[in-house]
Amino acid sequence: MPLVRIDVLQDRAAEQLPAIGDAVHRALVAEIAVPERDRFQIIARHPPGLLVFDPEYLGIHRTAHIVIVQITMSLGRTLEQKKALIAAIARNLSALPDLRPEDVFVNLVEVVKENWSFGNGIAQYAV
């Protein structure tokens, strides 16, 4: 159910991308009870200058190792769950090479539960 878009700069090695996807997915599974197999992610690399970020906003020092994670997910998680999810994403990602917690940007977009189909033309989560 989450649809996860992950955007990085293109100088990041392609070999690192699966581990980045894994790190985000493990946070979803651990913190907001996303099923292990409910994994759908689009990872894109961008030329320098086309993924634009401020290197100092809020006093956080960001580098070209930035990872932008935008997660579309169902409504219903508490603020505490969302905070735990964000913390786990940063913790899991920053355990990887060339990845600092300062470089983890996260945005959550919430939709009603009925707005998903996992195949066969059926809105599987609709009541």
Residues near a copy of itself (CB under 8 A) = 3, 7, 14, 17-18, 21, 35, 37-47, 49-54, 56-58, 60, 62, 68, 70, 72, 79, 82-83, 86-91, 94, 101-112, 114-124, 126
Residue 10 near residue 45 (C-beta atoms within 8 A): yes
Rounded to a whole number of angstroms, the minimum distance from the CB of residue 15 to a copy of itself is 10
Which positions ≥6 away from 96 have C-beta within 8 Å?
16, 19, 20, 23
Kindly tell me which of 54 and 97 has the beta carbon lying closer to a copy of itself.
Answer: 54
The backbone torsions φ and ψ at residue 3, rounded to the nearest 5 degrees and listed phi first, read -110, 120
CB of 89 to a copy of itself, least distance (A): 7
* Closest separation in Å from C-beta 13 to a copy of itself: 13
Residue of 30, 22, 36, 1 whose CA lies nearest to 110: 1
